[in-house]
Structure 1
Amino acid sequence: MRRALITGVNGQDGSYLAELLLDRGYRVIGLVREDAGERLDRIQHIRSQLEIVPGSLLDDALLRRLLEHHQPDEVYNFAARASSSQLLTDPTLTAEYNGLAVVRMLEAIRTVNPKIRFCQASSSEMFGTVAESPQNELTPFRPRNPYGVAKLFAHGMVGTYRENFGVFGCSAILFNHESPRRGPEFVTRKISMSVARIRAGLTRSLSLGALDVTRDWGFAGDYVRAMWQMLQAEVADDYVVATGVSHSVREFCDLAFDRVGLDYRAYVQTDPLVRRAPESIPFLGDATKARRVLGWQPSMSFEQLVTMMVDADIVAQQVA
């Protein structure tokens, strides 16, 4: 039985990857923060099939003990400070968790068993102020917030351990990926949850920033499958994971409200205080390399993704 360690297993991406690996016969060990408490709802349905270990990525000794005791064949790192509200707050802690913690894991792998295959969840935030579109593996990185800077440091260290120490390390440069398990602080989930609440008569409006901001949105389940495929390849490398299609927040609203027979224009208000500066060059991922080398393809369209999220939040609202 192959063994995999997933850090941040209780997050959106970690939960989808855990499902995928269990379906493929893996034994799955999940690392969660010591204060996770009851925040395991995303993995509750598979909780009995997982081995959950509480701990911190900042604990070097713990990481070595984990690798020595469980002897994983693969390690996937999703643990990070990731919400949009944290992009500019507490940069020191962001650097610790999103940057230095990855080095600690890589060093543990190097010293315990350099044959362990490692995949890092990198981010399109590393591109920052982009100079070209679409963005691929050769596009220059110009991060403009502590989150993107820390992710870029970790991304570079994965390459360093790959080239200098022979660690099979890969980085998945993930563009925006959503699902019904997305945190409520992210704009896509704000929209789907608000649609469900408006439909139920619990609220009357939704306040958002600029509606014409565009993003390359895909399904989280597809993106973690790409990460698994990276660790099955013969050669370790880095890959952009994206759909290659851009949509606006306005389009997301239109589809989401239309799903319940409503016109978004009657309910969505724009808040000038949360507006972003206009982007002259759009964020748009070019996943040609992942398609060519790994044979990866996204399975879900933007329209299907929006429908999935709205339907799930309607069911959740009815249960509540």
Structure 2
Amino acid sequence: MKTALICGVTGQDGAWLALLLLSKGYRVVGTSRDAQIATLTKLDLLGVRERIELRSMTPTDFRSVVQTLIQVEPDEIYNLSGQSSVGLSFQQPVETLESISQGTLNLLESMRMINKSIRFYNAGSSECFGDTGDLAADELTPFRPRSPYAVAKSASVWSVSNYREGYAMYACSGILFNHESWLRPARFVTSKVIKTVNRIAQGSGEQLQLGNMDISRDWGWAPEYVEAMWRILQQEKPEDFIIATGYTASLQEFVALAFAAHNLDWRDHTRSDASLLRETDIRISRANPQKARERLGWQATLTMPDVVARMVEAEKLLSQRAAPCQVEPAPASLLR
């Protein structure tokens, strides 16, 4: 039985990855800064909370990281921790940089000291590329970060590359483009859209307020993307990979489909809010995931319309539940 350490197990990707690795027979250990008070709702919804070992670890505290690696003795580490919001990174640039780049460096250095044979996956981001226009970014496209979050993610990817080349360690980054599911918190625009549209369909009378709806992204389905993370660590040689669908669509298209799923016209219920605009927002994001198809044998089967349909279905089901004292697992139909 392999042991996997998931740093940031309480987030969307961490929860889906825990579910996947448990299905593959792994012993799964998940970390949070304070496991005793961490919000474990996502793990509860996927029905995995009682099947994983939870530990407190602060990635920015080197001693905490070293102690955790010595105690857990992992075969694989998945680094999904750190501040995860692009928008929030403008308000908290220092915390963003420290939690992502310093946290990654502490994990790498701890591995180098304790056990260089551990396989390490690092969560990169399409934000690292900045605005590439009509160019579909691949693994050789230069980074041009345009937010504190993107700067931090770029530094973490470069650190991984440095340790891989300098110390012959099995360290890789998955440069993931946007990937969503019904586990996304409401501060993410996709979840905000789905939840607001569902309330409007129920008669709330509110308006969906958005910034620039002309932005375009490559949106995929998160449960498929964690499969790619696992495959990256099963290769003979460590390499970085772009993980994406290869299909780019505008936010306006996303919004229109969400309203159409409720038989509503988005133009009747949406308005622009200038306060939500960002000066350095990326206009368009395109990806070329050819290397992942060829080397990993991985290809996304769900694109943006499928993502919208699944998130709408999940929101309808989950919003109909009475608020329980204890979170119950989601219906089996949503665990895919």
User: What displacement does 1:245 show?
Assistant: 0.7
User: What displacement does 1:294 show?
Assistant: 0.6
Identify the residue that residue 134 of structure 1 maps to in structure 2. Answer: 136
Report SS of the residue matched to 2:5: strand
Report SS of the residue matched to 1:229: helix
User: What displacement does 1:213 show?
Assistant: 1.1
Q: Assess, with a 3 A threshold, how the Cα gap between structure 1 residues 205 and 223 changes in structure 2: closer, same or farther.
A: same
Identify the residue that residue 310 of structure 2 maps to in structure 1. Answer: 308
Q: Look up the equivalent residue of 1:27 and give its one-letter code.
A: R
Deviations 1:165-195 (A, max 9, x none): 1110000001111100111101110110011
Report SS of the residue matched to 1:319: coil
Identify the residue that residue 37 of structure 1 maps to in structure 2. Answer: 37
User: What displacement does 1:277 show?
Assistant: 5.3
Q: Could you tell me the TM-score, scaled by structure 1's length? A: 0.96
Q: Assess, with a 3 A threshold, how the Cα gap between structure 1 residues 280 and 225 changes in structure 2: closer, same or farther.
A: closer
CA distance in 2, matches of 1:145, 1:278: 7
Identify the residue that residue 225 of structure 1 maps to in structure 2. Answer: 227
Deviations 1:42-83 (A, max 9, x none): 001211100000221112122112111111110001101111
Contact 2:212 2:277 (8 Å CA) reproduced:
yes
Q: Assess, with a 3 A threshold, how the Cα gap between structure 1 residues 141 and 26 changes in structure 2: closer, same or farther.
A: same
Equivalent of 2:169 in 167, 170, 179? 167
Equivalent of 1:293 in 288, 292, 295? 295
User: What displacement does 1:137 show?
Assistant: 0.7
Identify the residue that residue 4 of structure 2 maps to in structure 1. Answer: 4
Equivalent of 1:191 in 190, 193, 197? 193
Report SS of the residue matched to 1:309: helix
User: What displacement does 1:131 show?
Assistant: 6.1
Report SS of the residue matched to 2:91: coil
Identify the residue that residue 255 of structure 2 maps to in structure 1. Answer: 253
Range that drifts further, 199-208 or 109-118 = 199-208
Contact 2:131 2:284 (8 Å CA) reproduced:
no
Q: Look up the equivalent residue of 2:314 and give its one-letter code.
A: A
Runs (4+) of structure 1 moved beyond 6 Å? 278-281
Identify the residue that residue 207 of structure 1 maps to in structure 2. Answer: 209
Identify the residue that residue 17 of structure 2 maps to in structure 1. Answer: 17
Report SS of the residue matched to 2:90: coil
Identify the residue that residue 144 of structure 1 maps to in structure 2. Answer: 146
User: What displacement does 1:261 show?
Assistant: 1.1
CA distance in 2, matches of 1:35, 1:65: 15
Contact 1:13 1:220 (8 Å CA) reproduced:
yes
CA distance in 1, matches of 2:178, 2:149: 14
CA distance in 1, matches of 2:128, 2:30: 26
User: What displacement does 1:313 show?
Assistant: 1.2
Q: Look up the equivalent residue of 1:5 and give its one-letter code.
A: L
Identify the residue that residue 239 of structure 1 maps to in structure 2. Answer: 241
Q: Which runs of 5+ in 2 are unaligned?
A: 323-336
Q: Assess, with a 3 A threshold, how the Cα gap between structure 1 residues 36 and 234 changes in structure 2: closer, same or farther.
A: same
Report SS of the residue matched to 1:311: helix
Deviations 1:63-104 (A, max 9, x none): 112111111110001101111331212222111111011000
User: What displacement does 1:145 show?
Assistant: 1.6
CA distance in 2, matches of 1:206, 1:23: 38
Q: Look up the equivalent residue of 2:311 and give its one-letter code.
A: M
Q: Look up the equivalent residue of 1:10 and give its one-letter code.
A: T
Q: Look up the equivalent residue of 1:138 and give its one-letter code.
A: L
Q: Assess, with a 3 A threshold, how the Cα gap between structure 1 residues 36 and 304 changes in structure 2: closer, same or farther.
A: farther
Identify the residue that residue 327 of structure 2 maps to in structure 1. Answer: none
Identify the residue that residue 89 of structure 1 maps to in structure 2. Answer: 91
Report SS of the residue matched to 1:30: strand
User: What displacement does 1:202 show?
Assistant: 2.8
Contact 2:121 2:229 (8 Å CA) reproduced:
yes
CA distance in 1, matches of 2:277, 2:34: 35
CA distance in 1, matches of 2:60, 2:282: 38
RMSD: 1.7
- Counting aligned pairs with the same residue, the percent is 40
User: What displacement does 1:222 show?
Assistant: 1.2
CA distance in 2, matches of 1:316, 1:106: 39
Contact 2:30 2:55 (8 Å CA) reproduced:
yes
- Where do residues 27-106 of structure 1 align in structure 2 (5 Å cutoff)? 27-34=27-34, 37=37, 39-44=39-44, 45-106=47-108
Report SS of the residue matched to 1:87: helix
**Number of equivalent positions:** 320
User: What displacement does 1:281 show?
Assistant: 6.6
Q: Assess, with a 3 A threshold, how the Cα gap between structure 1 residues 8 and 284 changes in structure 2: closer, same or farther.
A: same
